[in-house]
Amino acid sequence: MPDVKEILAQSVAKLLETRQDISRLNLSKLMGVADGTLGRIKYGTGNPNVETLQQIAKFFRFDAWQLLVPGFNPLSPPKLANTATTAVDLAPEEVELLTLFRSLNEPERTYLLLNARGYVAGNPIQKGTPPIKSTA
């Protein structure tokens, strides 16, 4: 049976690598998790409670269970089978946009959403107008 502490340590290390723009100390403050606790989890010596695991996962926009899946990859996180999102048919451009959005960190996600909302507010789509297709 896999060591849960080691799986969590690897997952947290991968998540922290996605935020090399900010120190672990500052990340821990933003998450509301003590830096020592975060360090112990990262190195596999910590024993976090469920609330701490949820805080870390929520900060990085994941569910806590995803961090406990062996081989966790933040760019391609594990998904539950037969979820409602698998039934949605997305155009290739929508899949690309969603993939790119999920690869961003805060504050880039917020910046992008605010700009997109501003664009849509200033350029409302008229019914009957064909959507603009990307040429890239």
pTM: 0.60
Distance between CA atoms of residues 44 and 2, nearest Å: 13
Is residue 100 helix, strand or coil? helix
Burial string for 89-114 (b: 16+ CB within 10 Å, else e) reads eeeeeeeeeeeeeeeeeeeeeeeeee
- The per-residue pLDDT for range 72-84, each reduced to its tens digit, is 999 888 888 755 5
Q: How confident is the model at residue 87 (pLDDT cuts 50, 70, 90)?
A: very low
Are the C-beta atoms of residues 67 and 57 closer than 8 Å to each other?
yes
Query: Domains in the chain, ordered, with CATH?
Result: 4-68 (1.10.260.40), 84-122 (no CATH)
Distance between CA atoms of residues 28 and 73, nearest Å: 20
Are the C-beta atoms of residues 19 and 28 closer than 8 Å to each other?
no
Share of the chain above pLDDT 70, in %: 85
- The per-residue pLDDT for range 12-57, each reduced to its tens digit, is 999 999 988 889 999 999 999 999 999 999 999 999 999 999 999 9
Distance between CA atoms of residues 40 and 49, nearest Å: 13
State the pLDDT at residue 135: 58
